[in-house]
Structure formats: structure tokens, C-alpha cells
């Protein structure tokens, strides 16, 4: 063999770290393989395969947008998959599931380390990977929910012949093929996978943004990030064009199906393609958001670079050794700790009380547990209090009406105001009709339709007593719209008839 020249040798070494980081992805699976477990019959359990199943399980849930998946769900899934093959009871499955999850996400909180010798730079390096992450947790049942992290997603894709870098484009290609063949069901799934891709891209951009914020400290890092951003931008652009074409294609398919006269056969297909086009629009919209985000990142990077003129970063720093080691190792006087902690704290502030506060707006709440007898109260204050009491009384009344309404809507899904008023008589609530507030209630509902529970900040800036009333709705949404006729109540009031029904929460599809 002829001797390779220097360039060729360098070529083989380039991007060594990147390649190793791909190898590192598989490390946890092989760690699982080394674990020896057996079922009740003494048959060995193949942990590595279960590890991959676990990843696929979490991937599937990511596709379905199910964020609440914990150890128990995984155990159940593994049990169902292995039915008839392994004899393991559910409690042991839970134990195994916990074991597997801990390999992917070490319980100590340390990231998974993978160290190797980098032949390109000629030094040892360590790569940190994070396969699973905590997604949320439920403090009531003390359950931890997990989701695939970036590297986990990469690992799932890595087991499918292509890397996530080209994932989206490949999905787009597959989708097109499926549409051409008329496999609409499969196409829908394909779109879901695309959505996961776009979401993971979004997450990566956010991470990148934080990274840029923290670590652009020199010309060199700026160059690195700029190149990265260029690449991302080019990629997004390409994908965006592809999306446009796809959209056009779906549109054409849609018109073709619509024009087709063979109605019965095409009806289901038409419905599916409608959903596809709908979902595609959504993914596309999210994807276009990424383009914008990318531009912003570029600006950020430029700012940071400009700032870096004022700043020189260290090449390596180890808080544990350089700071903690120093303080505890010598040891230094106790005050040193206060000094070291200072940057993490806020600035101390003088808190003083000014006499002028007396003339500031006063916030007094009467009647709520604490009775404040005020004989010589100012006129304004008195007014405010009576206002407040009125609001309280009215709030309580509204609660009663809402309770009855919810009760009625449990029986029927839809009710007209006219019917409701008639039912009120049966419940012995006829006297409500004499109160002005009763009519106000409907006007408020109508004006606010669709009515749902108020968010936190809305609660803060209005204290009409309505928040509790709307709180009764829980997760439901109440839709109020007017319908024909005017309700004569037999009192001095009359009101436009309305239709009341539950709306659907998501409004999806």
C-alpha cells in the first residue's frame, strides 16, 4: 500500500469527536446488556433489548403528545410486550423499569459520562449525554414523569439508519411517497413524527440561545457559532421550501379527491386528507417560526460578540476545586463563604417606612373574618366598603346560579335560558327573577363567552368576585350564544333568550 500523505491522514481524523459522540449514544444500551436479570423460571432477561423498547415507548408517547409517562406505565407496557414469553410479575417489572430508566438518567443527577482519547486533538476528552429527562412530576401521587431528551431522540433515530440531522427531510420525502400512493393513514403518522422533529429543533434552538448568551467570549467561539447558525439557517430554508411544495401537493390531492365522483369510496380518504392538510399547516407554521428564531439567534450572537470585547473568559474552571476546595481546604475564615455567595444574591436594600405612606392608597378588606369597626370612617372608605359588600353578596348569588346551571347541564348537553328559567320555578328558585343581579349574570356570561376559568393574572386585576364563580367550571368551557325570542319572566324584567352549552376544550380538529 502506498503511504498516505499528510492530508489524507488528517482527513481520517477530522471530526473525531463528533463521531465518538455518536458512538457514546449507544453506551447506555451496552451497559444494560451487562446487567444480569432472570425471570421466575430462571430464564435470562435481555436488558439491552428492553432498553431499546423503553426508548421506543417514550418515543411513541412523544408522538402522541403524552407528557405524563412514568415508571408504572413503562412497566405495564413491558409486561404486555413480554406476555407469554417471560414470567415476571408487575412489581418486578416496575423494579426493572426503574432500573432501565436509571441507566438512561442516573439517579445521582450526574450526566452520563463517556470519556475517550481524541486522536485529532491528542488529548483525553469527556462527552456528556442525556437520554431521558424529567418532564414533570406529580407531588400528590409522588410520581415522576419522563421524556426523551435530545440525545435520546438521536439514539432512537440512530437505530433507524439515518441521523436526526436529515430526519425532517426524510420524513418529507416519505410523506410525499405515501401521499402519492394514497396511504393517508400512514401519512398522518409521518406528520406526527415531523412535528416531533420540529419540536426537538425548537428545544435545541432555545438551548443554543442560552449557550450563546453564556459562552460567546472570543472571536473563535463566535466563528464556531456563526458557522453553526449558518448551517441551521440553510437547513431550515431547504426544509421550508420542501414544506411549500408539500403543501402544494396536498392541495392538489385535495382538489383531485374533491372532484372525484366516486363519493362513497372517497369520503374517508377526503376526510383524512383534510386532516393531513390541517396538520401539515400547523407543522409548517411552527417550522416557519424556527426561521424567525434563527434570525434572532444570529443577532444575539453578534451582540454577544461585540460584548466579548469587554470580556475574557477562562479556558477551564472548576467551581468545586477552585472555590469550594480553597474555602474548605485551608480552611478560610467563615466570612469567605459569605463573600463567595454574594454574586448569587440580590443587593441588600434599606427598608424604611415613610410617613407619607399614610396618604397612599389604603387597602382595607372588611367583613372577611376580621371585623374592623370604624366609627369615624371617611366617606370614601365607607363607600368602598359597601361596594365590596355588594360584590361579595352578588358573588355568592352568582355562585348559586352557576351551581344550578352546571347541574342542569349535567343532565342535558344544551339548554336554553327559557327552559332554565322554567326549571328554576320547579326548584323553588322563582324569587331569583325579582333580582336585578340575576339578569346581570347572563349578560356577563354572554359578554365573556366562551367562559373558562380565569388565569392567575386575570384574577389579580379584577376583584369582582367572579373568579370563584368561573372557578366552578373546572376544565370545562361554557359557550353562551343568543337565540331567538325574548324571555318574559312575569316581573318587571325581560331578557333575550340564550343557548347554553359546553364547548370543547381544545377546539382541535
Partner 1 sequence: MNYSYKNETVMQAFRLYSQLALNGSVDKERLQDYIADDEVRGLVDQFAAEVDCAVIVTSDELFLIPLVRLSPFHMSNDYMKKTYLRSSAVNADLYLMYMAIIVFIGAFYDSYQSLEPTRNFIPLDEWSVLMQERIELLKEFEEEQLKSYEVEFSYHWSAVIEKWDTMDDIKETVKRQTGNTISRLSFLDTVKRFLLEQQLAEEVGAGDLALTEKTKMIVQRYFMELEYNRGILNFLYNLDERKKAEGEDEGHAVDR
For partner 1, the binding residues (CB under 8 A) are: 105, 107-111, 113, 125-126, 128, 130, 133-134, 137, 139, 142, 144, 210, 212-215, 299-301, 303-304, 306-307, 310-314, 316-324, 326-349
Residues 6+ apart with CB under 8 A from 469: 395, 398, 399, 402
Residue 230 beta carbon to partner 1: minimum distance, rounded to whole angstroms = 18
Residue 136 beta carbon to partner 1: minimum distance, rounded to whole angstroms = 9
When the beta carbons of 60 and 113 are compared against partner 1, the nearer one is 113
- Residue pair 394/437 in contact by the 8 Å Cβ criterion: yes
When the beta carbons of 1 and 456 are compared against partner 1, the nearer one is 456
C-alpha cell at 484: 331567538
C-alpha cell at 350: 434599606
When the beta carbons of 84 and 109 are compared against partner 1, the nearer one is 109
When the beta carbons of 335 and 380 are compared against partner 1, the nearer one is 335
> 404: closest CA among 376, 434, 367, 429?
429
Burial class (CB in 10 A: 0-12, 13-18, 19+), 406: middle
Name the DSSP class of 146.
E
CA–CA separation, 64 and 461 (whole Å)? 37
The strands making up 477-488's β-sheet, listed across from edge to edge, are 414-416, 494-503, 477-488
**Half-sphere exposure (CA, 13 Å, Cβ side) for 257?**
22
Residue 94 beta carbon to partner 1: minimum distance, rounded to whole angstroms = 17
When the beta carbons of 51 and 70 are compared against partner 1, the nearer one is 70
Residue 214 beta carbon to partner 1: minimum distance, rounded to whole angstroms = 4
When the beta carbons of 62 and 105 are compared against partner 1, the nearer one is 105
Residue 108 beta carbon to partner 1: minimum distance, rounded to whole angstroms = 5
Residue 327 beta carbon to partner 1: minimum distance, rounded to whole angstroms = 7
CA–CA separation, 381 and 364 (whole Å)? 9
C-alpha cell at 211: 449557550
- Residue pair 417/424 in contact by the 8 Å Cβ criterion: no
CA–CA separation, 173 and 190 (whole Å)? 10
When the beta carbons of 315 and 371 are compared against partner 1, the nearer one is 315
When the beta carbons of 48 and 327 are compared against partner 1, the nearer one is 327
C-alpha cell at 50: 428492553
C-alpha cell at 330: 485551608
Residue 27 beta carbon to partner 1: minimum distance, rounded to whole angstroms = 16
Amino acid at each position: 500500500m502506498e503511504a498516505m500523505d499528510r492530508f489524507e491522514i488528517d482527513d481520517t481524523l477530522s471530526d473525531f469527536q463528533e463521531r465518538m459522540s455518536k458512538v457514546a449514544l449507544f453506551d447506555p444500551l451496552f451497559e444494560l446488556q451487562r446487567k444480569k436479570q432472570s425471570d421466575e423460571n430462571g430464564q435470562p432477561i435481555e436488558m439491552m433489548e428492553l432498553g431499546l423498547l423503553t426508548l421506543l415507548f417514550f418515543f411513541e408517547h412523544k408522538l402522541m403528545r403524552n407528557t405524563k409517562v412514568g415508571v408504572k406505565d413503562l412497566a405495564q407496557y413491558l409486561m404486555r410486550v413480554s406476555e407469554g414469553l417471560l414470567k415476571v410479575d408487575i412489581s418486578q417489572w416496575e423494579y426493572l423499569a426503574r432500573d432501565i430508566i436509571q441507566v438512561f438518567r442516573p439517579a445521582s443527577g450526574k450526566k452520563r459520562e463517556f470519556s475517550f482519547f481524541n486522536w485529532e486533538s491528542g488529548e483525553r476528552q469527556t462527552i456528556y449525554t442525556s437520554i431521558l429527562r424529567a418532564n414533570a412530576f406529580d407531588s400528590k401521587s409522588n410520581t415522576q414523569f419522563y421524556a426523551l431528551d435530545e440525545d435520546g431522540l438521536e439514539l432512537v433515530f440512530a437505530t433507524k439508519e439515518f441521523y436526526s440531522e436529515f430526519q425532517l427531510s426524510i420524513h418529507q420525502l416519505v410523506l410525499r411517497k405515501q401521499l402519492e400512493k394514497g396511504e393517508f393513514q400512514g401519512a398522518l403518522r409521518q406528520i406526527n413524527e415531523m412535528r416531533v422533529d420540529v419540536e426537538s429543533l425548537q428545544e435545541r434552538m432555545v438551548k443554543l440561545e442560552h449557550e450563546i448568551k453564556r459562552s460567546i467570549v472570543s472571536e473563535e467561539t463566535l466563528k464556531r457559532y456563526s458557522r453553526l447558525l449558518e448551517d441551521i439557517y440553510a437547513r431550515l430554508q431547504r426544509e421550508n421550501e420542501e414544506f411549500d411544495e408539500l403543501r402544494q401537493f396536498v392541495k392538489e390531492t385535495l382538489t383531485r379527491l374533491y372532484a372525484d365522483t366516486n363519493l362513497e369510496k372517497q369520503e374517508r380518504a377526503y376526510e383524512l386528507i383534510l386532516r393531513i392538510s390541517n396538520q401539515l399547516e400547523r407543522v409548517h407554521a411552527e417550522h416557519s417560526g424556527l426561521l424567525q428564531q434563527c434570525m434572532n439567534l444570529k443577532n444575539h450572537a453578534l451582540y454577544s460578540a461585540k460584548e466579548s470585547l469587554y470580556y475574557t473568559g477562562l479556558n477551564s474552571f472548576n467551581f468545586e476545586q477552585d472555590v469550594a476546595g480553597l474555602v474548605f481546604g485551608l480552611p478560610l475564615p467563615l466570612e469567605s463563604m459569605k463573600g463567595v455567595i454574594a454574586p448569587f444574591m440580590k443587593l441588600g436594600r434599606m427598608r424604611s417606612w415613610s410617613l407619607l405612606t399614610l396618604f397612599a392608597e389604603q387597602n382595607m378588606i372588611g367583613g372577611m373574618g376580621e371585623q374592623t369597626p370604624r366609627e369615624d370612617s371617611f366617606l370614601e372608605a365607607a363607600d368602598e366598603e359597601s361596594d365590596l359588600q355588594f360584590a361579595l353578596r352578588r358573588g355568592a348569588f352568582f355562585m348559586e346560579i352557576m351551581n344550578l346551571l352546571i347541574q342542569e347541564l349535567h343532565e342535558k348537553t344544551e339548554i336554553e335560558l327559557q327552559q332554565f328559567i322554567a326549571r328554576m320555578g320547579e326548584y323553588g328558585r322563582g324569587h331569583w327573577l325579582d333580582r336585578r343581579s340575576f339578569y346581570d349574570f347572563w349578560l356577563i356570561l354572554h359578554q365573556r363567552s366562551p367562559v373558562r376559568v380565569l388565569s392567575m393574572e386575570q384574577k389579580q386585576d379584577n376583584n369582582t368576585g367572579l373568579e370563584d364563580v368561573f372557578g366552578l367550571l373546572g376544565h370545562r368551557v361554557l359557550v353562551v350564544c343568543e337565540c331567538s325570542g325574548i324571555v318574559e319572566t312575569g316581573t318587571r324584567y325581560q331578557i333575550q333568550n340564550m343557548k347554553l352549552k359546553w364547548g370543547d376544550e381544545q377546539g382541535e380538529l
